Amino acid sequence: MNWNSLQKIDIRVWYVLLVLSLFIPLLKPLGLPLSISKDAKTVYDTVEAIKPGSVVIVSPSYSPGTEAEMWPQHAAIVQHLIRKKAKIIQVSLDLSSVMYAERAWKTYGPQNNLKYGEDHVIMPYKAGLDVVIAAMGRDLKALYTEDYYGTSCASLPLMQSISGIKDVALVIDFMPGNTLVDYLRQIESVYHIPVTGGVTGVCIPTMMPYVQSGQCRGLLGGMRGGAEYELLINSPGAAIGGMDAQSLSHVLVIVAIVLGNIGYLASRQKGGGGK
């Protein structure tokens, strides 16, 4: 057998196998086990510790591209907050994220008999990322004078019940970028409001220094983080459903790497340059 050819398999073959490895488990789940990580448990415990009636800022900062990883985390945490009878203010730092804030409200608000304006408020998108977060800390009510639907915040009981960031019990951010770091910098370190949240899988190492120092109270990482949280709140959703697909696709990538290396080593033995 020409082992060298193992590193020259047409990439389209791998693409087809990838599609199959993602598609098949979605049709027929494998039921693979999933343990809960310490960091996900810490996020859960942080939310669990808040008192009923506490005001929590939830900040979805993601766009449609990262929805697969971030929405399950967002949805699971909103469900948990509703169970804890927290009052939620959703703020949006990305152009598209306000749509996810609205989706979370429409999916879980009415079914739990929540009243918009009293239990839940959605704020409009504001450009500026860290500038907006800093302004949130300095004067939340001056920053948001109207909600997403154009209603004056002065007429919303939830906004009337707080004077500023100091009345917020917890900030939860869902970021594919750096907004969680900005919240830690501008809110946690300045006003000492607890901050936690979720990130995409690639951002986990970036956030680890903040988690290990205790600045960030735990972390949900990628789709797995969402799946772990769904298990913790006993509400299986999209993340748990997607984990089997992710498992098989990871195995496929490993197989590709192994075969590529067998081909490479074979070509080196033959004296060829290899790729």
Interaction residues for another protein, span 8-67 (CB under 8 A) = 9, 11, 14-15, 18, 22, 30, 32-35, 37-38, 63-67
Tokens of 16: 């087809």
Look up residue 126 and give its amino acid: K
Tokens of 167: 């009345």
Contact predicate 153/117, CB 8 Å: no
Q: Considering only 45-53, 111-119, 147-155, 160-168, which stretch makes contact with another protein by CB under 8 A?
A: 147-155
Tokens of 272: 């060829």
How far is the CA of 270 from the CAs of 1, 5, 10, 263, in angstroms? Answer: 13, 13, 22, 11
* Binding-site member from 119, 182, 188, 230 for another protein (CB under 8 A): 182
Residues 205-244 that bind another protein (CB under 8 A): 205-206, 208-209, 212, 222, 224, 243-244
Residues 106-145 that bind another protein (CB under 8 A): 127-131, 134-135, 138
Report d(CA 39, CA 209) in Å as an integer: 12
Local structure of 113: helix, strand or coil:
coil
Nearer to another protein, 56 or 211 (CB): 211
Tokens of 151: 């209603």
Report the Cα–Cα distance between both ends of the chain, in Å, rounded: 19
Nearer to another protein, 46 or 96 (CB): 96
Nearer to another protein, 53 or 205 (CB): 205
How many residues bind another protein (CB under 8 A)? The answer is: 74
* Binding-site member from 178, 233, 235, 241 for another protein (CB under 8 A): 178
Instruction: Find the shortest distance in angstroms from Cβ 128 to another protein.
Output: 5
169 makes contact with another protein (CB under 8 A): no
- DSSP category for residue 245: H
Residues 255-274 that bind another protein (CB under 8 A): 256-257, 259-261, 264-265, 274
Instruction: Find the shortest distance in angstroms from Cβ 221 to another protein.
Output: 8
Strand runs (DSSP E) across 134-194, as ranges?
Answer: 168-175
Nearer to another protein, 119 or 147 (CB): 147
Of the candidates 223, 245, 184, the residue with the CA atom closest to the CA atom of residue 73: 223
Contact predicate 197/220, CB 8 Å: yes
Of the candidates 183, 197, 195, 206, the residue with the CA atom closest to the CA atom of residue 226: 197
Tokens of 5: 């050819």
Instruction: Find the shortest distance in angstroms from Cβ 50 to another protein.
Output: 26
247 makes contact with another protein (CB under 8 A): yes
Q: Considering only 3-11, 78-86, 109-117, 162-170, which stretch makes contact with another protein by CB under 8 A?
A: 3-11
68 makes contact with another protein (CB under 8 A): yes
Tokens of 177: 């970028």
* Binding-site member from 117, 201, 237, 241 for another protein (CB under 8 A): 201
